[in-house]
C-alpha cells in the first residue's frame, strides 16, 4: 500500500479567519489524506517545526490579512534551512492575482484563491505526487 | 353560508385543482426550496390566524416590549440609521485623511478598523507583528497615534465605533485621553467599543487572555462607563463574525444572545445592578443575501432579547430590554469573481438590514474579496445606503414587512429554533462552558462545511463562481498597503519612547500590575493613567499577559 499522504494546514500571522482553512482541512480529510490543522496565529517558525515533526508531504498556508508576501516565503525559506525543502508548500486566502507570480518565485508552488473548488487542490496534490 | 370554506379547505382544493394541473405539466425548478441558511421554505404561506392578544404579546408596537417591530417609536421617519463605514489602514495619518473624506461625503459616524497587532495587544516593533502592521486597519501603538488619528475631528460631534476586543479598555482609555486634550468631557462622548471577547473565542480569533480575566475587564468597563462615560456603548455583542465563520441565521442570533446572557450574568454576579449597564449593551449582526430570512432574523432577535432581559434578569428599565444593533453586509457573500456584482449583493443586504430595523449600517465595498477597498468603491457602498434611505421608500413606514404571512412565520420559526439553542447552552452551564467544550465552534463549522459542499456540488448557485462564469482580467486599482509602513511606525514608536517620562511610565505599569493581581480593583483608572503617560498598548497588554496568562484555542475539526 502506498504511504498515506500527510498535509499540514496552517495559519501563519495574526489573522483569525479560519473558515477557509478549516474547510480545506476537512475536505482534504474527506478526500482521503491525513490532515493536521495548526489552529490560528502560528509563526513561520512554529509551522516549520510542526511540519517536520509530523513528517508531512505538503503544507497549505491560509492567510486573509494581506501579510502573505512576508509570511509565505518565510515558511519556504525556513524549510530549506532545515533541510526539508522536499515538503511542498501551497497557499490560499485573500491573495491579489498580481502577488501570485512573486509567491511562486519564492517557492509557493500553487496559490488557490476564493471560490477554488476542492478538486483543483486535490488535482494539484496528486499531480505533484507523481513527480 | 353553505358555500363558505376555511382557508385550509380552500388550500386543499387549490392544491388538487389549480396547482396540480400546472405541476403535472411543469415541475418546479427544485424539489425543495431552502433559505440562505438552508431551511426549507414552503410554496405558499397563509394567514396564521393570530389573535389580537397574541399579536400584542409577540409583535406589539415599535418602541414597546417586545420590540419585534423596532426599538424606536418612529424609526426612520424620525431619523435614518447611522451610516457608518468601517475604515482604517496604514498609519494614523492616512486613516485620519480617510475619516475626514467620509465625513465630508455625508457619513454620520466613524468606525475604526485597527490592524491585527493592535487588536492582539502587540506593538508594531514586536516580532509577532511581522507582515501585519497597518494591513487590515490602522496601527496604534501609543496615545500619540490616537491623537493623530482624530486630529481635526471634534469628538463631541461624532460618534465613534471601535472594533477592538481583548484590549478594548486600553483603546477606550486612549479615546478618553484624546477627548480630554480636545477639551471634551467624558459625558459628551458617544460611541461603541466592540469589547465582545466571547465571539473572539468562537469565531474571530483576536483574543489575548483566558475567559475569567477577560470577563473581569469587561465588567470593569461596564462599571467605569456607567459612572464616567454614560453615553458610551460598552459592548457590541456580535453575531457578525459568527455568521462570517459560516453559521446559519438561527445560529447567528442564538449564539449572540447566549453571549449576551453570559455578559449580563457575569456583571450581575459582581454586584452590578442590571439596569445600570444593560441599556448600554448593543449588538452587531450580519446581512446576507436571503432578504426575507434576514429581516425575520432581526425581528426574532429583538423579541428574544427583550424576553431574556425581562424574564431572566428582571430588568425594569425599557432601555435594558431593547436590542439596538449595528449591521454590516456579509463579507463572506462577496465574490472575487466579477466584483461589480457585489454592488448588487450589497444593495439587497442593505434592504434587509433596513427593512429589519437596524440602528446603523456598514455597507461593504465591491472589491473587499480582493483587498482593502479603494476610495471609489467605498463611495459606491456609501451611496448604496443613501439611495435606499432617500429613494427606495422603505423608510416611510415602520417594519413594513410585518404581517406578511411568510415573514411572520419565519420570524416565529427562527425565534423558536434560536431559543432551543440558547436553552441548550444554558444547560451546558453557559457560553464559556459551551466554548470550552468546542460545542459552538463545531456547530458553526458543520454549517460552514455543509454550505461549501452545496456550492461545490452546484446545489447552491453563486453567480460568477459556479454559474455564469467568465474569463476575467485581474482587477486593477486595488488598494495596496505600503510594506515599508512598519519601519515608519517603528521609528515613530521609538521617538515616543524617547520623549516620554520613562520613570512615570514604569510607575504606572507597576500600579497596573498590582491592580491586576488584586481581583476586585477596577483597572480602567489605572489603564487610563498608563495611557496618558504614553505607555504603549504592547506594554500595557504585556503586563496584563504576565498576570492573566493567555488563552489557548481548542481545535475542533
Joined grid coordinates for residue B305 = 432579547
Asked if A104 has any chain B CB less than 8 Å from its own CB, the reply is no
Q: Which residues of B touch A14 (CB under 8 A)?
A: 116-117, 119-120, 122, 128-129, 132, 206
- Confidence band, pLDDT 50/70/90 cuts, at residue B374: confident
Residue B379: partners with Cβ closer than 8 Å, 6 or more residues away: B105
Reduced to 3 states (helix: H, G, I; strand: E, B; else coil), residue A124 is: helix
B357 closest CA partner among B408, B449, B295, B406: B295
- Confidence band, pLDDT 50/70/90 cuts, at residue B441: very high
Residue A48: partners with Cβ closer than 8 Å, 6 or more residues away: A75, A78, A79, A82, A84
- Give the pLDDT confidence score for residue B107 in this predicted structure: 81
Asked if B182 has any chain A CB less than 8 Å from its own CB, the reply is no
Joined grid coordinates for residue A90 = 501551497
Among candidates B129, B245, B557 on the partner chain, residue whose Cβ is nearest the Cβ of A19: B245
Q: What is the pLDDT of residues B378-413, one digit of tens each?
A: 999 999 999 999 999 999 999 999 999 999 999 999
Is residue B424 over pLDDT 60? yes
- Confidence band, pLDDT 50/70/90 cuts, at residue A1: very low
Q: How far is A68 from chain B (nearest CA, A)?
A: 8
Joined grid coordinates for residue B46 = 397563509
Q: What is the pLDDT of residues B1-40, one digit of tens each?
A: 557 899 999 999 999 999 999 999 999 999 999 999 999 9
For the beta carbon of residue B151, count every other beta carbon within 10 angstroms: 14
DSSP label at residue B114? B
Residue B360 buriedness (CB in 10 A; 0-12 / 13-18 / 19+) = buried
Joined grid coordinates for residue A57 = 508531504
CB atoms A67 and B557 under 8 Å: no
Q: Which residues of B touch A119 (CB under 8 A)?
A: 456
Is residue B95 over pLDDT 90? yes
Average pLDDT, chain B: 95
Amino acid at each position: 500500500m502506498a504511504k498515506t499522504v500527510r498535509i499540514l494546514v496552517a495559519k501563519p500571522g495574526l489573522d483569525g479567519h479560519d473558515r477557509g482553512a478549516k474547510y480545506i482541512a476537512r475536505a482534504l480529510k474527506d478526500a482521503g489524506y491525513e490532515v493536521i490543522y495548526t489552529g490560528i496565529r502560528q509563526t513561520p517558525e512554529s509551522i516549520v517545526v510542526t511540519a517536520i515533526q509530523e513528517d508531512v508531504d505538503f503544507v497549505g498556508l491560509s492567510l486573509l490579512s494581506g501579510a502573505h508576501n512576508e509570511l509565505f516565503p518565510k515558511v519556504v525559506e525556513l524549510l530549506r534551512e532545515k533541510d526539508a525543502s522536499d515538503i511542498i508548500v501551497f497557499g490560499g486566502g485573500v491573495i491579489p492575482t498580481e502577488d501570485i507570480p512573486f509567491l511562486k518565485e519564492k517557492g509557493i508552488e500553487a496559490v488557490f484563491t476564493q471560490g477554488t473548488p476542492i478538486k483543483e487542490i486535490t488535482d494539484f496534490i496528486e499531480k505533484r505526487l507523481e513527480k | 353560508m353553505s358555500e363558505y370554506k376555511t382557508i385550509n379547505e380552500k388550500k386543499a382544493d387549490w392544491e388538487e385543482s389549480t396547482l396540480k394541473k400546472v405541476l403535472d405539466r411543469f415541475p418546479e425548478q427544485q424539489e425543495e426550496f431552502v433559505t440562505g441558511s438552508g431551511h426549507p421554505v414552503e410554496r405558499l404561506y397563509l394567514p396564521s390566524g393570530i389573535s389580537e392578544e397574541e399579536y400584542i404579546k409577540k409583535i406589539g408596537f415599535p418602541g414597546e416590549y417586545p420590540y419585534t417591530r423596532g426599538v424606536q417609536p418612529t424609526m426612520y421617519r424620525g431619523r435614518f440609521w447611522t451610516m457608518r463605514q468601517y475604515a482604517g489602514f496604514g498609519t494614523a495619518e492616512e486613516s485620519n485623511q480617510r475619516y475626514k473624506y467620509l465625513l465630508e461625503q455625508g457619513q454620520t459616524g466613524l468606525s475604526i478598523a485597527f490592524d491585527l497587532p493592535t487588536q492582539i495587544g502587540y506593538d508594531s516593533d514586536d516580532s509577532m507583528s511581522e507582515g501585519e502592521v497597518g494591513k487590515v486597519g490602522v496601527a496604534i501603538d501609543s496615545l500619540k497615534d490616537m491623537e493623530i488619528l482624530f486630529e481635526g475631528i471634534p469628538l463631541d460631534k461624532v460618534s465613534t465605533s471601535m472594533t477592538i476586543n481583548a484590549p478594548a479598555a486600553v483603546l477606550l482609555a486612549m479615546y478618553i485621553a484624546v477627548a480630554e486634550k480636545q477639551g471634551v468631557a467624558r459625558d459628551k462622548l458617544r460611541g461603541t467599543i466592540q469589547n465582545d471577547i466571547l465571539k473572539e473565542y468562537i469565531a474571530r480569533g483576536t483574543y489575548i487572555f483566558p475567559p475569567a480575566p477577560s470577563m473581569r475587564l469587561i465588567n470593569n468597563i461596564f462599571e467605569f462607563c456607567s459612572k464616567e462615560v454614560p453615553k458610551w456603548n460598552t459592548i457590541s455583542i456580535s453575531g457578525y463574525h459568527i455568521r462570517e465563520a459560516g453559521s446559519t441565521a438561527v445560529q447567528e442570533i442564538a449564539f449572540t444572545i447566549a453571549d449576551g446572557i453570559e455578559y449580563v450574568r457575569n456583571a450581575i454576579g459582581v454586584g452590578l445592578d442590571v439596569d445600570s449597564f444593560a441599556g448600554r449593551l448593543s449588538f452587531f449582526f450580519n446581512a446576507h443575501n436571503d432578504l426575507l430570512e434576514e429581516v425575520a432574523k432581526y425581528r426574532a432577535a429583538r423579541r428574544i432579547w427583550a424576553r431574556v432581559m425581562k424574564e431572566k434578569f428582571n430588568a425594569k428599565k425599557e432601555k435594558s430590554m431593547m436590542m439596538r444593533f449595528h449591521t454590516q453586509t456579509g463579507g463572506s457573500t462577496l465574490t472575487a469573481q466579477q466584483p461589480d456584482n457585489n454592488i448588487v449583493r450589497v444593495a439587497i443586504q442593505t434592504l434587509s438590514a433596513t427593512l429589519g430595523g437596524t440602528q446603523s449600517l456598514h455597507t461593504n465595498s465591491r472589491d473587499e474579496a480582493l483587498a482593502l477597498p479603494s476610495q471609489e468603491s467605498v463611495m459606491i457602498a456609501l451611496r448604496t445606503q443613501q439611495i435606499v434611505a432617500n429613494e427606495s421608500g422603505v423608510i416611510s413606514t415602520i417594519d413594513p414587512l410585518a404581517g406578511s404571512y411568510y415573514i411572520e412565520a419565519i420570524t416565529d420559526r427562527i425565534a423558536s429554533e434560536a431559543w432551543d439553542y440558547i436553552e441548550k447552552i444554558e444547560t451546558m452551564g453557559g457560553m464559556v462552558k459551551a466554548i470550552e467544550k468546542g460545542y459552538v465552534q463545531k456547530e458553526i463549522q458543520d454549517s460552514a462545511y455543509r454550505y461549501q459542499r452545496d456550492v461545490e456540488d452546484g446545489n447552491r448557485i453563486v453567480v460568477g463562481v459556479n454559474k455564469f462564469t467568465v474569463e476575467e482580467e485581474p482587477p486593477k486599482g486595488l488598494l495596496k498597503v505600503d510594506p515599508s509602513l512598519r519601519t515608519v511606525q517603528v521609528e515613530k514608536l521609538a521617538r515616543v519612547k524617547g520623549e516620554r517620562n520613562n520613570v512615570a511610565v514604569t510607575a504606572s505599569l507597576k500600579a497596573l500590575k498590582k491592580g491586576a493581581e488584586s481581583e476586585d480593583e477596577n483597572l480602567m483608572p489605572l489603564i487610563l493613567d498608563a495611557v496618558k503617560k504614553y505607555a504603549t498598548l504592547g506594554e500595557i497588554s504585556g503586563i496584563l499577559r504576565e498576570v492573566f496568562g493567555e488563552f489557548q484555542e481548542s481545535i475542533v475539526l
